[in-house]
Amino acid sequence: MQQKRHALELERKVVERTAALERAHAAQSESENYLRLLLDSTAEGFYGIDQNGATTLCNAAFLRMLGFTSAEEVIGRQLHGVIHHSRPDGSPYPKEQCPIYRSAQTGEATHVDDERFFPIKGKSFPVEYWSYPVWRDGELRGAIVTFIDITERKRAEESLRDAQAQLQSAISAGAVGTWNWDLGTNSITANPALARTFNLNPDDAHRGLPVETYLAAILPEDRPQVEAATAKALASGDYRVEYRVRNAEGQVRCVIARGQVEYDAAGKPARLPGALTDITERRQAEEAAREASERFRFLAESMPQKIFTARANGEMDYFNGEWTKYIGLSPEKICDWGWTQFVHPEDVEENLRRWQHSVATQEPFYMEHRFLQLDGQYRWHVSRASPMRDAEGNVMMWISSNTDIDDQKRHEAALRESEARIRALFETAEAARVSAEAAKARAEAATRAKDDFLAALSHELRTPLSPALLL
């Protein structure tokens, strides 16, 4: 009896331990699934290696960034020679010198942001990675690695370096003036370029001059907008204003100033540094372009022909008044690509093909096609467009003239019809002439035959039956 109780107790313990093991296994499985889900949901690449450098695990981002399709392709493989085999300069990168492998060997954590990974397909990309040793029960087992693709960051850094270099070059060349306004002392220090623009002594400007000294160089009518921009900057932090100054040569120059307020520890405005650029030539060029555009529009509106202009990409941006008179639509409704609505349906496809070809090749455009007019009738036009280029040869815009040739077309058609009728009459007359000549020839032949017959008959009558009588 006691043995039976002991057996039952043993069986109960086995069942309980089995259940406990199953619960632990389920919990472990759930934990592993949660960890897998967590790893796969991150944008960073993640993988682990053992002390020999063999891959032990990886996440979905690792597979995606490096071109693998499944974890089975990488688990158990030593991937240094596949994804990390070269330095950024292209020289070989031995595994023994790799910080990732070193972490798995020595237990040292590593952070690197100037190397590249090489996908199995496609181009390499710059990476920033962190490698951490994995310890278990006091024993070094390998390392885990997280990494990110820093291509966009590198591009941004390069753009920033270029911009800084250009700015420094402009400052060194005297093309950009810089200043620093100390709001506490209300004085401004400036570089020589800005001092020249404001007709100030460069040494005095370098040491610092009162704000009023700079304001005095600004044209009186522009000072209110400068003061308003200053008040706005002290409230918002951003300073930007365009105004005119009179320089040392007495010339009025147009400048644009930009700055950013800096604050003290208490959060109060302390300084306003910034840069100033002379944009006189730009404004003069813009004014010249505006005047040229106005002159062109005046001429275009004065001409009896239909005129349009287009951007370099072929989108129409201007139609003169003759178009409105002809089709009854406002320029806004036919600009860009709206003009296709008044081209004859049979001409639209070829019209688009030729126009797109001209825009792509920068060759002049020519076409004879039909345009719908206000009364619902189509009239023939000849359209010519040529590109206008800048000093470097780049197409700035297209200018086109469109001439109504419908009357000419009708006249040409009438001439062709008249020519056809005359040709038909000529051919009929020629046929009649040939027929008459043939009839005349037949009549002349008949006359000759008759004359020959009568001559023969007359001869016979003059010598009647003599030979026959002798017989």
The CA distance from 279 to 92, in Å, is 51
Domain ranges of the chain: 37-149, 170-284, 300-409
The two tokens of residue 329 are 């639509």
Which architecture characterizes domain 170-284 according to CATH?
2-Layer Sandwich (3.30)
- Judge if 37-149 and 170-284 fold alike in CATH terms: yes
CATH 3.40.630.30 is the classification of domain 37-149: no
- Regarding beta strands 187-190 and 316-319, do their DSSP bridges make them parallel or antiparallel, or are they unpaired? unpaired
| CATH class of the region 300-409 | alpha beta
- Residues whose CB is less than 8 angstroms from the CB of residue 216 and which lie 6 or more positions away in sequence, other chains included: none
- The residue among 343, 339, 276, 275 whose CA lies nearest residue 310 is 339
Per-residue pLDDT of the chain (471 residues; tens, 9 = 90+): 556 565 556 555 555 565 555 554 544 455 455 455 566 667 789 999 999 999 999 999 999 999 999 999 999 999 999 999 999 999 999 999 999 999 999 999 999 999 999 999 989 999 999 999 999 888 999 999 999 999 999 988 888 787 666 656 555 544 578 999 999 999 999 999 899 889 999 999 999 999 999 999 999 999 999 999 999 999 999 999 999 998 878 889 999 999 999 999 999 999 999 999 888 888 888 888 788 778 877 777 777 788 888 999 999 988 988 888 888 888 888 888 888 899 999 999 999 999 999 999 999 999 999 999 988 999 999 999 999 888 888 998 998 888 888 888 888 777 777 677 767 666 765 666 666 676 667 767 667 766 666 666 565 555 554 444 344
Residues 257 and 272: beta-carbon distance below 8 Å:
no
SS (HEC) of 262-304: EECCCCCEEEEEEEEEECHHHHHHHHHHHHHHHHHHHHHHHCC
The CA distance from 205 to 194, in Å, is 8
Half-sphere exposure of 439 (CA within 13 A, CB side): 6
The number of beta carbons lying within 10 Å of the beta carbon of residue 305 is: 13
The CA distance from 317 to 297, in Å, is 12
Task: Provide the whole-model pTM.
Answer: 0.43
Residues 176 and 275: beta-carbon distance below 8 Å:
yes
- The residue among 367, 355, 366 whose CA lies nearest residue 313 is 355
